[in-house]
Amino acid sequence: MQFEVLATCHTTRARVSRMKLAHGVTLLPTFMPVATQAAIKGLTAQQMESLGVTLILNNTYHLNLRPGIKILNEIGGAHKFQGWNRNLLTDSGGFQLVSLNKFTTITEEGALFQDPFTGEPTMLTPEESMSIQHAIGGDIVMQLDDVVPSLTTGPRVGEAMQRSVRWLDRCIEFHQKSGRDESQNLFAIVQGGLDPELRKQCLEQMVQRKDRIAGFAIGGLSGGEAKDIFWRTIKQCTEGLPADRPRYAMGVGFAEDLLVCVALGIDMADCVFPTRTARFGVALTFNGPLNLKLKKHSHDLKPIEEGCPCPTCSSGTSRALLHHTITIETAAAHTVTMHNLVFQARLMGGARDAILAGTFPEYLRKFFEDYYGDSGYPQWCCDALKSVGVDLLEGLEKPKVVQGDGARWEYAVDQ
Amino acid sequence: MIRLSRMGPPRLTFSASPLPSSSPSSSHFNPRLGCLTLQRDDATKSTIKIATPGLLTTASRGFIPHLSRDHVNSTAAIRWVNIPFETFLERVPPVPTTLKDSLHPLHDFFKYDTSKHIVCLQARDPIDSRDMPSNGRDHLSVRCIRGVRKLRISDWNFYASSTYPDVVVALSDIPFTPPPHSQKRINKSLERSTQWLLDSLSPVPPNPEDRPNLLVHLVGGINPSARQAFSQALTETLFGAEAHRVKPLKNLDDAITGYTFDLVPLRKALKWDTAADNTLVHLIQTSLESLPFGKPRIVNSVRGPQDILRLISATGVDLFDSQWAVELATFGVALDFTFPVPSSPTGPPLTRIRDNGKTDIGHNLYDGKYATDFNRLSTLFLDGQSKSSTPTPTSVTATKQRWCPCAACSPVSPLIQLKHSQTDEHVPDPSIPLEYRPAYTRAYIHHLLHTHEMSAHALLTMHNLSVVDHFFADILDTLERDGVDKFVQEVRKFRDWYDDDVVGDDTEDLGEAGEVEVAGGILGREAKSDWVSVDKARGKGRLAREKEKTGTAVLEEAEVV
């Protein structure tokens, strides 16, 4: 990997970097769409490429079950299997072991889980995870970590963090011995739950191993924790991570979360949100999400968002047509999915341009005004951005601020 | 009346040349070669040509199933799009009627390309076989997502005029109440259909070029004399009040561009019919007998290639819908057949041969044997990469070895890549020629099908439409080069070679629930059943349930964990 920071924001911790991997260049900060089963829902690899996406994510756990390593090895990896010739990141499979399997037990050796096919106890070790990810062939591979649900408290959190560090060593060892470390780049995952002390210890230990690690991810968040704790944890981690390595916030996908993370120094993020929400009829815009199922869109001949370059908006596909078809025709889901992915890409692309131009604070203010001006600024966003020198409310008369998560939804209330 | 478009309707012309044959039957029903041409008088001056016999596509709620707009535009097989209107009656006013400033409201609303696509408006979905309440004197029963609605005849005429379709199908009173239908009901159907046609025509614009392109269902159910009577009424010279209403027309047929048949209601009724000689071919012939030769004959809801070949051979039909091929894509089938039947095929394994000695028309990609099959979708069609280095991905060229231009077999590097910031480096260099990417493999589509990934259906739909398009190109080619007699021989060979028995007997092609049966014979039925079981298998414990079915093959994969 070649990683180069091109510019940093004069006020916040945001930065623009150029990351060159085996399948091309990806500019950071970026959002990574999730192709869980080796396909972005409903789209082809060529369509994804035409949207200007250069880095997607595959899930190791799922690809290991199907098509399985034997098939991936035969065809020569997941890139060839899905016809994708840009960059690819694979997770370690650890998260799904915990989220999808009730009976997973973690031992020092690895994660012991019930094989979903046979029901037999099976072990996923750090070495095994690496080996599977080598077969998949992602340009970025993730260490196996000991994942605990975000809201877990007590000694288990510390134990999981320490084990994640030990597993990282085993992953590094196996990865370097395999000789795959030339083309595939291993990322560590900082754990430690919501406890600043544990995060601090984890950061220290992992950063010590920096020379053998291509980048760092922040795990254990986006699991229902309070937003106030979320941003503080992100901030603590980005401050503790080295500047010459990319930083990846796992499972982050809401527009406001992404921009806050970028301002705190995050370079990469992934989430199923934009693609999943598209299938449920929600289109993302800079004025907030639109629920296309609402009757108020039934005769609206405007596109989802004027000026959006996505194939859906640039062809003039109307909200009315999408209202008529969404959740009924698969093609409507594809149409909104393309728009939502372009929205995410524009959001991050806009951030890159603003950071380069030295106008990122203005970009943040403009985004939040358009997105939340009517419904109220989330308190946590104001706090998070203030901590890096941007006051969203500056100069506003009687700004409306709301507590809580502040996710802005066009609720499914029909007029 | 159906008003003229604000530009005048596009000019739809059809030329058909009869082909001589040695058979004693009338050349009126011989296979024929033709060309449908649509010319727009607007600023684009575009011309769309469809060589016939050819295919048309039918939209569902306005979308070609599974295809996003870019895929529709890159699929050259899509030239004619039927748009059933009934679902838009869910909202008042129907939204496609509200594009006040548009010259092409349907194209603009549904995002079809006026230079590529002929859009044909019709009231009902021609594949919907479900029973319906009876129609009335002034209304047709139609179906929306929330149930049955009454479509008033006058409303339809307004909708059809305010949406300026390229082609419009006149409303006809075709009963969808459970068969059999009484003589009285059939008489009523004839009377109403004629009356509704008069209503839609009146008053007739004096200039023939201002009249809409109108298709008419040839009605009469499965009663040959009723069919004959309806057709004759179209060409009879009108008198009195009727003649006055449609002045200057001498007869109704003068205002008709072409004839259309929906096979679903006919098959439904034939199922109840015991007269053995009453076949689809016979019914269609009866309707066409007294009508002029030179107008296009269009058939909706055919059930596969055998059905198509039979209707071309015996009735000279020009355009066929391709819903059956899209449906097979939904059920995970990749079509892989040719006309004439393949002589000495080489390349990846051919389709399966059944116990009846007949060959499948495609691959059921749900089948476990495709899990490790890294070949392109069709054995009989080259993919873009193996074909050549200079791509012309939008057309089926007449190379010796067939190739499939679809986005699954011949994906190309995207022409446009969006740029999201000044720093983006991935913008393609326009000076670099299009490059074919490797074809998507059967193994990949197999994987997508078993993981419920919708991309499978998008890829298969484009592929199947392209294979069907090639099938028609080959029919045309055979007719042109070798004549009707040779064509008929090849049709016989095709019938003996391919397993596509759903239409083997006119009375057997409706399932228990009155649903239209899937095309593709045993293959289609197997694929549908696999599709159903994978769909049902969703949710917790699903992998374990599948393991029971597939046994050790899956176990091996799982051991890697």
Q: For residue A290, what are the β-bridge partners?
A: A283
Digit-coded pLDDT (tens) for B141-156: 999 988 999 999 999 9
Distance of alpha carbon A25 from the chain centroid: 18
Residue B542: pLDDT band (50, 70, 90) is low
The predicted structure's pLDDT at residue B344: 63
- Show Cβ contacts of residue A170 under 8 Å, excluding neighbours closer than 6 positions: A125, A126, A127
CA atoms within 13 A on the CB side of A394: 12
The predicted structure's pLDDT at residue B554: 35
Which is higher by pLDDT, B503 or A153? A153
Q: For residue B139, what are the β-bridge partners?
A: B152
Question: Looking at the complex, does the CB of residue A86 fall below 8 Å from at least one CB of chain B?
Answer: yes
Question: Looking at the complex, does the CB of residue A261 fall below 8 Å from at least one CB of chain B?
Answer: no
Is the pLDDT at B77 greater than 60, yes or no? yes
The percentage of residues in chain B with a pLDDT greater than 70, rounded to a whole number, is 86
Q: What are phi and psi of B111, to 5 degrees?
A: 65, 45
Which of B66, B67, B68 to probe the A interface (max A CBs under 10 A)?
A: B68
Residue B504: pLDDT band (50, 70, 90) is very low
Rg (C-alpha) for chain A, rounded Å, is 21
- Show Cβ contacts of residue A48 under 8 Å, excluding neighbours closer than 6 positions: A33, A40, A56, A84, A86, A341
Digit-coded pLDDT (tens) for A142-156: 999 999 988 899 999
The number of C-beta contacts closer than 8 angstroms across A and B is 232
Chain B residues 130-159 within an 8 A CB cutoff of chain A: 145
Q: In this predicted complex, what is the ipTM?
A: 0.97
Categorise residue A319: left if φ over 0, alpha if ψ from -120 to 50, beta otherwise: alpha
In which order are the strands placed within the sheet that holds A30-33?
A: A30-33, A268-271, A247-249, A215-218, A185-190, A140-142, A87-90, A55-58
Digit-coded pLDDT (tens) for A231-254: 999 999 999 999 999 999 999 999
Q: How many whole angstroms separate alpha carbon B331 and alpha carbon B328?
A: 5
Is the pLDDT at B515 greater than 80, yes or no? no
Contacts with A299 from chain B: Cβ below 8 Å: 91, 93, 95, 98
Categorise residue B417: left if φ over 0, alpha if ψ from -120 to 50, beta otherwise: beta
The percentage of residues in chain B with a pLDDT greater than 90, rounded to a whole number, is 73
Q: How many whole angstroms separate alpha carbon B514 and alpha carbon B275?
A: 20
The percentage of residues in chain A with a pLDDT greater than 90, rounded to a whole number, is 87
10 Å Cβ neighbour count for B278?
18
Which is higher by pLDDT, A56 or B19? A56
Q: How many whole angstroms separate alpha carbon A24 and alpha carbon A250?
A: 22
Contacts with A348 from chain B: Cβ below 8 Å: 420-421
Digit-coded pLDDT (tens) for A217-227: 999 999 899 99
Nearest CA to B173 out of B214, B203, B216, B215 is that of B216
Interchain proximity A321–B423, CB inside 8 Å: no
Interchain proximity A66–B440, CB inside 8 Å: no
The answer to whether the Cα torsion of B65, B66, B68, B70 is positive or negative is negative
Across the range A93-118, mean pLDDT stands at 85
Q: What is the mean pLDDT of chain A?
A: 94
Residue A122: pLDDT band (50, 70, 90) is confident
Between B98, B426, B438, which is nearest A52 by CB? B426
The predicted structure's pLDDT at residue B244: 94
The predicted structure's pLDDT at residue B553: 37
Is the pLDDT at B508 greater than 90, yes or no? no
Is the pLDDT at B538 greater than 80, yes or no? no
The predicted structure's pLDDT at residue B511: 44
Question: Looking at the complex, does the CB of residue A334 fall below 8 Å from at least one CB of chain B?
Answer: yes
Q: Are A15 and A254 in contact (CB under 8 A)?
A: no
Digit-coded pLDDT (tens) for A360-406: 999 999 999 999 988 899 999 999 999 999 999 999 888 899 988 76
- Show Cβ contacts of residue B81 under 8 Å, excluding neighbours closer than 6 positions: B56, B57, B58, B59, B64, B110, B112, B117, B118, B119, B120
Between A64, A86, A309, which is nearest B560 by CB? A64
Q: Are A113 and A97 in contact (CB under 8 A)?
A: yes
- Worst-scoring range by mean pLDDT, A100-109, A172-181, B79-88? A100-109
Residue B374: pLDDT band (50, 70, 90) is very high
Digit-coded pLDDT (tens) for B378-436: 999 999 999 865 445 454 444 468 999 999 999 998 888 999 999 887 656 666 667 89
Q: Where are the alpha helices (DSSP H) in B246-367?
A: 263-270, 280-288, 305-315, 323-330
The predicted structure's pLDDT at residue B555: 33
Is the pLDDT at A273 greater than 90, yes or no? yes
Digit-coded pLDDT (tens) for B240-290: 999 999 999 999 999 999 999 999 999 888 887 766 567 899 999 999 999
Q: How many whole angstroms separate alpha carbon B177 and alpha carbon A27?
A: 62
The predicted structure's pLDDT at residue A130: 97
CA dihedral A371, A372, A377, A381 (to 10 degrees): -20
The answer to whether the Cα torsion of A37, A253, A218, A188 is positive or negative is positive
Interchain proximity B374–A74, CB inside 8 Å: yes
Between A68, A81, A330, which is nearest B560 by CB? A68
Chain A residues 164-223 within an 8 A CB cutoff of chain B: none
- Show Cβ contacts of residue B147 under 8 Å, excluding neighbours closer than 6 positions: none
Q: For residue A379, what are the β-bridge partners?
A: none
Digit-coded pLDDT (tens) for B102-130: 999 999 999 999 999 999 999 999 999 99
pTM for the whole structure: 0.94
10 Å Cβ neighbour count for B445?
26
- Worst-scoring range by mean pLDDT, B45-54, B199-208, B266-275, B361-370? B266-275
Q: Are B360 and A59 in contact (CB under 8 A)?
A: no
Q: Which chain B residue has its CA at the smallest distance from A297's CA? A: B95
The predicted structure's pLDDT at residue A412: 46
Question: Looking at the complex, does the CB of residue B331 fall below 8 Å from at least one CB of chain A?
Answer: no
Q: What is the mean pLDDT of chain B?
A: 88
Enumerate helices (H) and strands (E) in chain A, giving the number of each.
16, 18
Which is higher by pLDDT, B22 or A136? A136
Active-site residue list of A? 91, 270
The predicted structure's pLDDT at residue B272: 79
Q: Where are the alpha helices (DSSP H) in A280-376?
A: 311-314, 319-325, 330-357, 360-372
Q: Can you give the three-state secondary structure of B188-229, one letter per residue?
A: HHHHHHHHHHHHHHCCCCCCHHHCCCEEEECCCCCCHHHHHH
- Worst-scoring range by mean pLDDT, A325-339, B406-420, B512-526? B512-526
Residue type for position B280:
L
Which of A43, A72, A324 to probe the B interface (max B CBs under 10 A)?
A: A324
